[in-house]
Structure formats: C-alpha cells, structure tokens
Amino acid sequence: MGAAFFYHLTRRPLEDTLAMLLEKSRGAGWRVVVRGRDPARLDWLEEKLWLISDDGFLAHGRAGGEHDADQPILLTDQPHAPNGAQCLMSIDGAEVTADEVGAFDRVCVLFDGNDPAALNVARGQWKDLKGAGASAQYWSEESGRWEKKAET
C-alpha cells in the first residue's frame, strides 16, 4: 500500500522540485505518471523537463501517442497510467483518490504555497485522503530544506 506525500512549494518553482522528485523516483526504478489539469501547462512542463535535469534531460513523453506504454515518465491530464507507473505526481490541483494512493507505491501532490487557491485545493485533498484512511505525509521547504511536518 502506498502513501501520499504533499509538497508545499514556497521557495523553488514547480519545475525544479518536480525534476528532483522525478530523478529520485527514476532512481528507485519507478515509472511515473505526472497528472495535471491544463494541457497547455503540461506542454510548458514538457519543454522544461528536457532542460533541467542533472543529466541534461529527463526522458519522458506526453500522453496520447502510440508509445505511451514505453515512457518512463508520462505527462497527462487524464486519470490513467498507460505506462504502468508505480508513482503518480499530481500538479496544479489534479485529482488524486484514496484508491490511487493504495494502488501506487507513491503519490506526490505538489502545490504552490504562495497561491491561496492552490493551498485550498491541497487542504481539501489532504482532508479527503485522510478521511478515506489513506496514509499521507506533509512536507514543507519553508526552512530552506525539505522537512516532514505532519503524517497520518
């Protein structure tokens, strides 16, 4: 059974934190699906991921192609993981269910701590997952490094 890790972004931009988490996930041998809500935002993120990894790029693809199942990292706005992902990363308030927390090895919810609307969505997600009995951790970078602040 997996766990949801909530990442409260206050210092680094989404693309930097996401790249770090993707590199760690790939280092663990996991395939990853990154779920967003806005196709244009995912297009923007796709471009960023080619440029910001320590290796120069993070191999990934955009969902909807004939090679989705082969992608180590797949960006999508759909509730599917055709690449057989063990890890789901939710950005920009994309929905995550308690069933998904149980099905994936890890679910990461990244949210902008400087955006009141994003904070409200993340709080709602935390409350819903906690109420459904899902395991969850809350991580903050407020001190300048990632620290676990709460756990269910």
Answering whether pTM is above 0.85, one says yes
Look up the domain containing 127 and give its range: 3-151
Q: Spell out the per-residue pLDDT of the chain, length 152, in tens.
A: 689 999 999 999 999 999 999 999 999 999 999 999 999 999 999 888 877 655 666 788 899 988 999 999 999 999 989 999 999 999 999 999 999 999 999 999 999 999 999 999 999 999 999 999 999 999 999 899 999 999 98
Residue 147 to residue 130: CA distance in whole angstroms: 20
Q: Are 117 and 100 in contact (CB under 8 A)?
A: no
Number of domains in the chain: 1
CATH number (domain holding residue 94): 3.40.50.10110
Residue 77 to residue 34: CA distance in whole angstroms: 8
